[in-house]
Homo-oligomer: A and B are copies of this chain.
Amino acid sequence: MSENIPADQSIDAARVPEDAITASILAAVAEHRLPAGTKLGEQALSDLFACHRSNVRRALTSLAAQHVIELQPNRGAFVATPSPEESREVFEARRTIERTLARLAIKRARPEDIAEMRRLTVQEAEARARSDKPAELRLSRAFHMQLSVIAGNSVLRQFLTELTLRTTLILGLYGDRGSSSCAKDEHGPIVDALEARDEARLVALIDEHLAHLEAGLDFDCPANRAMTLAEQLIPQRPL
């Protein structure tokens, strides 16, 4: 018997070059290293990953299907730039799905699941303490994804995979200013409610958490998009 191959794409260590490309781009977007609007040229990527351009092409179409990038005919691939309207819809969809995931998770969470959630909140707090933004983003996303794993519905889990990524893009575009967003530890109380099997409290906390995230967005000041040359070459002085 041959070993089972995990269906989900894990960061790095990919079986085929196509997966390495998608994983790298996904990770870069998830950690705010690739700003919205960045052009992803085919040749640049095929050079980087030392593979044929057809692999790059497949990876890009796959990412486009997840709304992580946008394909413009005869123009190329760009990191997606969600509109304010789209952002609203993404948050609404997230609330819907995470509410259900929370209810499911309450019924199924085992002690080790809760311990894993707790561990993620601790690691996230550590990352925040040392101002490691990429790790913080990654762990925050992992927290929400872990909830979907516990819930045990792979369809909803896959939807949430896409939605959390799009949320990260949105935060990069419209949020993160004013130290709002994930400043405090909002995940800790969520684990508490999950451990207490307090469904009403858990759902309320998640709703609040997502509402808080969304309320922190500022659509009038869309910074953090792909920088032009001028912005990159003429650095504005820090306050």
Footprint of B on A, CB under 8 Å?
58, 61-62, 65, 86, 89-90, 92-93, 96-97, 99-100, 104, 153-156, 159, 163
Contacts and interface: CB of A to CB of B under 8 A. Distances in A.
A22 to B, nearest CB: 12
A145 B155 CA distance: 19
A96 B156 contact: yes
B156 A93 contact: yes
A115 to B, nearest CB: 25
B156 A92 contact: yes
A12 B97 CA distance: 33
A90 B96 CA distance: 15
Contacts of A93: 153, 155-156, 159
19 contacts: A58-B61, A62-B65, A65-B65, A86-B154, A86-B155, A89-B154, A89-B156, A90-B155, A92-B104, A92-B153, A93-B155, A93-B156, A93-B159, A96-B96, A96-B99, A96-B100, A96-B156, A97-B97, A159-B159
Which residue among A90, A96, A104 has the maximum number of chain B CB atoms within 10 Å of its CB? A96
A96 B159 CA distance: 12
5 closest cross-chain pairs (CB), A and B: A65-B65, A96-B100, A89-B155, A93-B155, A89-B153
Contact of A96 (B86, B97, B163): B97
Nearest to A16: B73
A3 B86 CA distance: 22
A59 to B, nearest CB: 11
A110 B58 CA distance: 42
Contacts of A156: 89, 92-93, 96
Contacts of A86: 154-155
Contacts of A90: 155
A138 B58 CA distance: 31
Contacts of A62: 61, 65
